[in-house]
């Protein structure tokens, strides 16, 4: 039998095939390592280096375990040390990696592991706090890790936390430890702390016309849209005041609103208004005879006078407060590390806005300072408590 030889008529095809296969393999290798190469070339900062390199999360960066990580001295940041503030600015220029929502789900999937990681059950608490539980209504939107940090900073086992999802929620963070909040709340003596001012003409339109939920351009949900239909005056001859959706209310006041026919009627009347949570509470607190009443004749209580929440608006910077050292989003400052001392000293109880992707050093140091303050106040409180008990025993 003759063997027929088939010479390759197109030797270039073999070369092309080899080149294609080689190129495909190179592309695959690059695809597998692109994240590592990209991040290493740009420089990264892990907000949670231990967790991000551990098996407790979904998106593990184990190959970065031995990478250089900045050591941040939060006490020096608080004292506004130029070198430490400079570190925070260097970090902000890097690729900042925080825990994703999937990471938080993985981290919290096993309760005993999560307790061990975050040590909620070991947070110190004083007798004063035990006898004065606080109920929180937390409105959150995105970034589960920031929500977890918020709860961790506020947590004390006797408190109650109601978490409500709202696509328009802001990123807030406490400026006071739980012990300090209890002390401040006791000083109110059953009063309420909230913004309540007489409305401007533009704000008045929010509740003098009927609003309907409609689909509007560039919005992913229905929005309240003003109609030409005028509303009837508020029931019970109520005078409407406006404020914000963030407030501190006494238990007695809340019990009043749940039982009062006036409050229920006003609630129903407010259903078709624009942003009713910004006038409902600000108005009810002005009703004569309510627990913790603010008289109608009393002066306006602005957002700066109410300690509930501190917001730094860009058009008021250098007039009412120093410039923002972070960045701005819709005219509101997202704070930077250089504002840590100002935030803790200004006097408010909470502030907005914070973002670990903008300045992770501030978020880290604020949580650290609050934990230090809680531990210190509980320790001082226990000393004072035992001294009081000993003095009583000595007098018997």
pLDDT tens digits, residue range 284-321? Answer: 999 999 999 999 999 999 999 999 999 999 999 999 99
Task: Tell me if 238 is assigned to some domain.
Answer: yes
- Does residue 128 carry a catalytic annotation? no
Q: Which of 278, 293, 317, 339 is catalytic?
A: 278
Instruction: Quote the domain boundaries for residue 299.
Output: 194-305
pLDDT at 34: 47
Q: Is the pLDDT of residue 41 over 50?
A: no
Higher pLDDT, residue 57 or 15? 57
Task: Tell me if 89 is assigned to some domain.
Answer: no
Beta bridge partners of 321: 317
**376: enclosing H helix or E strand:** helix 360-395
At 39 the three-state DSSP class reads helix
Task: Tell me if 74 is assigned to some domain.
Answer: no
Average pLDDT along the chain? 89
- Buried b / exposed e along 24-35 (16+ C-beta atoms within 10 A): eeeeeeeeeeee
Rg value, the chain, Cα: 28
Task: Tell me if 46 is assigned to some domain.
Answer: no
pLDDT at 321: 93
Residue 26's pLDDT band, with cuts at 50, 70 and 90, is low
Q: Is the pLDDT of residue 29 over 60?
A: no
* pTM for the whole structure: 0.84
Nearest residue to 153 via CA among 131, 177, 122: 177
What are the tens digits of pLDDT across the range 186-212? 999 999 999 999 999 999 999 999 999
Q: What angle do the packed helices 360-395 and 178-187 form, to 10 degrees?
A: 60
Residue 43's pLDDT band, with cuts at 50, 70 and 90, is confident
Task: Tell me if 210 is assigned to some domain.
Answer: yes
Task: Tell me if 249 is assigned to some domain.
Answer: yes
Give the total number of structural domains in the chain.
1
Q: Tell me the C-alpha to C-alpha distance, in Å, between residue 327 and each of 176, 259, 303, 311, 358.
A: 23, 44, 21, 13, 8
Mean pLDDT of 95-111: 95
Q: Is the pLDDT of residue 237 over 80?
A: yes
pLDDT at 8: 47
What are the tens digits of pLDDT across the range 322-379? 999 999 999 999 999 999 999 999 999 999 999 999 999 999 999 999 999 999 999 9
User: Residue 297, Cα to own-chain centre: how many angstroms?
Assistant: 35
Please give the Cα distance from 27 to 20 (Å, whole number): 10
Task: Tell me if 86 is assigned to some domain.
Answer: no
At 241 the three-state DSSP class reads coil
Q: Is the pLDDT of residue 392 over 60?
A: no
Please give the Cα distance from 242 to 196 (Å, whole number): 5
CB atoms within 10 A of CB 353: 20
Of 2-6, 96-100, 246-250, 261-265, minimum mean pLDDT range: 2-6
Q: Is the pLDDT of residue 388 over 80?
A: no
Please give the Cα distance from 102 to 115 (Å, whole number): 18
Residue 42's pLDDT band, with cuts at 50, 70 and 90, is low
Task: Tell me if 290 is assigned to some domain.
Answer: yes
Nearest residue to 339 via CA among 72, 39, 85: 85
- Buried b / exposed e along 300-327 (16+ C-beta atoms within 10 A): ebebeebbbbbbbbeeeeeeebeebbbe
At 158 the three-state DSSP class reads coil
């Amino acid at each position: 039998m003759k063997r027929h030889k088939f010479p390759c008529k197109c030797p270039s095809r073999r070369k092309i095939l080899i080149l294609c296969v080689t190129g495909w393999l190179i592309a695959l290798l690059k695809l597998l390592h692109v994240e590592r190469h990209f991040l290493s070339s740009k420089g990264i900062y892990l907000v949670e280096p231990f967790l991000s390199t551990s098996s407790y999360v979904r998106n593990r960066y184990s190959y970065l375990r031995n990478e250089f990580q900045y050591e941040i001295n939060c006490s020096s940041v608080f004292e506004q040390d130029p070198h430490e503030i400079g570190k925070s600015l260097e970090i902000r220029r890097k690729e900042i990696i925080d825990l994703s929502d999937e990471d938080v789900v993985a981290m919290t999937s096993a309760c005993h592991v999560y307790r061990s990681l975050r040590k909620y059950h070991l947070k110190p608490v004083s007798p004063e706090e035990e006898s004065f539980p606080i109920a929180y209504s937390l409105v959150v939107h995105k970034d589960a890790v920031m929500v977890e940090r918020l709860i961790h900073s506020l947590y004390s086992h006797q408190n109650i936390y109601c978490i409500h999802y709202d696509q328009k929620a802001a990123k807030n963070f406490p400026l006071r430890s739980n012990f300090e909040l209890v002390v401040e709340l006791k000083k109110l003596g059953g009063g309420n702390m909230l913004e309540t001012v007489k409305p401007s003409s533009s704000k008045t339109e929010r509740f003098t016309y009927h609003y309907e939920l409609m689909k509007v351009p560039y919005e992913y949900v229905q929005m309240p849209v003003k109609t030409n239909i005028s509303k009837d005056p508020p029931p019970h001859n109520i005078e409407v005041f406006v404020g914000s959706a963030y407030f501190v209310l006494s238990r007695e006041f809340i019990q009043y609103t749940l039982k009062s026919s006036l409050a229920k009627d006003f609630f129903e009347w407010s259903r078709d208004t624009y942003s009713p949570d910004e006038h409902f509470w600000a108005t009810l607190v002005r009703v004569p005879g309510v627990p913790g009443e603010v008289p109608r004749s009393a002066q306006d209580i602005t957002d700066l006078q109410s300690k509930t929440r501190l917001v730094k608006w860009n058009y008021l910077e250098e007039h009412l407060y120093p410039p923002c050292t972070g960045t701005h989003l819709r005219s509101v400052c997202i704070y930077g590390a250089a504002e840590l001392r100002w935030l803790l000293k200004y006097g408010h109880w909470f502030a907005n806005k914070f973002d670990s992707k903008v300045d992770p050093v501030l978020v880290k140091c604020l949580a650290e300072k609050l934990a230090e303050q809680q531990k210190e106040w509980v320790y001082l409180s226990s000393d004072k408590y035992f001294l009081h008990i000993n003095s009583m025993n000595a007098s018997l």
